[in-house]
Amino acid sequence: MSADLQGSRALVTGAGHGIGRAIAVALAEAGADVAVHYHSSADEAAKTVSAIEALGRKAKAFQADATVTAEVDRLVEEATGFLGGLDVLVCNAGHLIGRATIAEMSDDHFDRVIDTNLTSTFRTVRAALPHLKESSAGRVITMSSLAAHNGGGPGSVAYAAAKAGIRGFTKG
The CATH number of whichever domain residue 129 belongs to comes to 3.40.50.720
Looking at residue 31, what is its pLDDT?
Answer: 98
Is residue 128, in this structure, part of any structural domain at all? Answer: yes
Helix, strand or coil, per DSSP, at residue 14: coil
Please tell me which residue in 133, 144, 156, 171 is annotated as part of the active site.
Answer: 144
Domain assignment of residue 56, yes or no = yes
Q: What is the pLDDT of residues 21-70, one digit of tens each?
A: 999 999 999 999 999 999 999 999 999 999 999 999 999 999 999 999 99
Residue 112 lies in a domain: yes
| Residue 163 among the catalytic residues | yes
Pick the catalytic residue from 8, 120, 145, 156: 145
Asked whether the beta carbons of 147 and 156 are under 8 A apart, the reply is yes
Q: Which of the four pLDDT bands, split at 50, 70 and 90, describes residue 2?
A: low
Give residue 143's domain range. Answer: 9-171
Annotated catalytic residue 136: no
Query: So what's the pLDDT on residue 3?
Result: 82
8 is catalytic: no
Percent of the chain at pLDDT exceeding 70: 99
pLDDT (average), residues 69-86:
98
* Domains contained in the chain, number: 1
Active-site residue, selected from the candidate residues 8, 120, 156, 163: 163
Per the annotation, the verdict on 144 as an active-site residue is yes
Q: Is the pTM above the cut of 0.85? A: yes
